C-alpha cells in the first residue's frame, strides 16, 4: 500500500493528533525528519499524500532543504497527489505554488478564533463547521493565497488562515495539537511571548481548560482530515 509522507521540521512539532487520526483509519505513514537530516525524496512514486508540519524557521531562510521540499510539493500538486500543510507547512505550500510569505502585522500565539470564508470551492472543506471556531496559533508570518487557490479561513488579525487548491489544503493555524504539545510549546517558546497582547497569550492562558479546548479542536481537525483523505491515491 502506498504511504503518506509526513515532514517534521523540529523535534517538538511532530504530527500530533494527525498521527492518531491516521492510525484510526489504518492509513500507513512515514516520518521524514528534516531536523535529523533524513533524505528528502525526489520522487512521489509510491506516495499517497504529503504532509508538512510546523517549525520555528522561516521559508525565506537560506536552508538547503527548502528548495527540495518546494519542488516535491510542485510535483505532487501537478500529479494530483494530496498535500497538507500546518503553519510552516502551509507557508511551504504557498511558496511552492507561487505565493509569498511575509511578516504579519501581529503575532498570533494561543487559542484564537477563525472564521469561514464561504465559496463554492470552500464548501466541501467547511461542511459541518460553524461560522467561527477556535484553533491554536503560533506564528509571526503569513502566506499569500497562491494563483488558482481559494481562501477558506480568516482571522481578524490574519486574513489568510487556510486555502485549498484541488486536493491540497494549507493552514496557517495549527489543527494538529494535542494537550501534551500545547504544554511543551508553552514551556519551550517563552521567547516568542513578548510582548503579551490580545493576540499573544501567556502559558497560563493557553493551557487553561486545555482538555476541553483540545477535544473541540480535534473535532474540527476530524472534519478537515476526513475531507483530505478522500483524495489519497
Side-chain-facing half-sphere of 211: CA atoms under 13 Å:
0
Contact yes or no for 17/178 (Cβ under 8 A)? yes
pLDDT, tens digit (0-9, with 9 covering 90-100), for 6-16: 999 999 999 99
Domain segments of the chain as ranges: 3-229
Query: Rounded to 5, what percent of the chain is helix, strand, coil?
Result: 35, 30, 35
Average pLDDT, the chain: 97
Rounded Cα–Cα distance for residues 46 and 119 (Å): 33
Instruction: Indicate if 197 belongs to the active site.
Output: no
User: What integer pLDDT is reported at residue 1 of this predicted model?
Assistant: 64
* Catalytic site residue from 86, 87, 137, 158: 87
Instruction: Indicate if 87 belongs to the active site.
Output: yes
pLDDT, tens digit (0-9, with 9 covering 90-100), for 154-203: 999 999 999 999 999 999 999 999 999 999 999 999 989 988 899 999 99
Written as one string, the DSSP assignment of 86-136 is ETHHHHHHHHHTT--EEEEEEEEEEEEEEEE---TTTHHHHTT--SEEEEE
Per CATH, is 3-229 categorized as 3.40.50.10880?
A: no
Instruction: Indicate if 9 belongs to the active site.
Output: no
Amino acid at each position: 500500500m502506498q504511504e503518506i509522507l509526513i515532514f517534521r521540521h523540529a523535534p517538538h512539532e511532530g504530527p500530533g493528533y494527525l498521527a492518531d487520526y491516521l492510525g484510526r483509519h489504518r492509513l500507513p505513514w512515514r516520518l521524514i525528519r528534516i531536523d535529523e537530516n533524513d533524505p528528502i525524496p525526489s520522487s512521489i512514486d509510491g506516495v499517497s499524500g504529503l504532509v508538512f508540519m510546523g517549525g520555528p524557521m522561516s521559508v525565506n531562510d537560506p536552508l538547503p532543504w527548502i528548495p527540495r521540499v518546494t519542488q516535491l510539493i510542485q510535483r505532487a500538486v501537478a500529479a494530483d497527489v494530496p498535500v497538507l500543510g500546518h503553519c510552516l507547512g502551509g507557508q511551504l505550500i504557498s511558496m511552492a505554488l507561487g505565493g509569498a510569505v511575509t511578516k504579519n502585522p501581529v503575532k498570533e500565539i494561543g487559542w484564537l478564533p477563525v472564521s469561514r470564508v464561504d465559496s463554492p470551492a470552500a464548501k466541501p472543506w467547511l461542511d459541518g463547521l460553524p461560522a467561527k471556531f477556535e484553533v491554536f496559533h503560533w506564528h509571526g508570518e503569513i502566506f499569500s493565497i497562491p494563483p488558482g487557490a481559494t481562501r477558506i479561513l480568516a482571522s481578524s488579525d490574519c486574513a489568510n488562515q487556510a486555502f485549498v487548491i484541488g486536493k491540497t489544503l494549507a493552514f496557517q493555524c495549527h489543527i494538529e495539537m494535542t494537550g501534551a504539545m500545547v504544554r511543551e510549546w508553552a514551556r519551550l517558546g517563552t521567547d516568542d511571548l513578548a510582548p503579551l497582547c490580545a493576540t499573544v497569550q501567556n502559558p497560563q492562558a493557553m493551557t487553561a481548560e486545555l482538555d476541553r479546548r483540545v477535544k473541540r479542536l480535534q473535532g474540527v481537525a476530524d472534519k478537515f482530515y476526513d475531507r483530505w483523505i478522500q483524495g489519497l491515491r
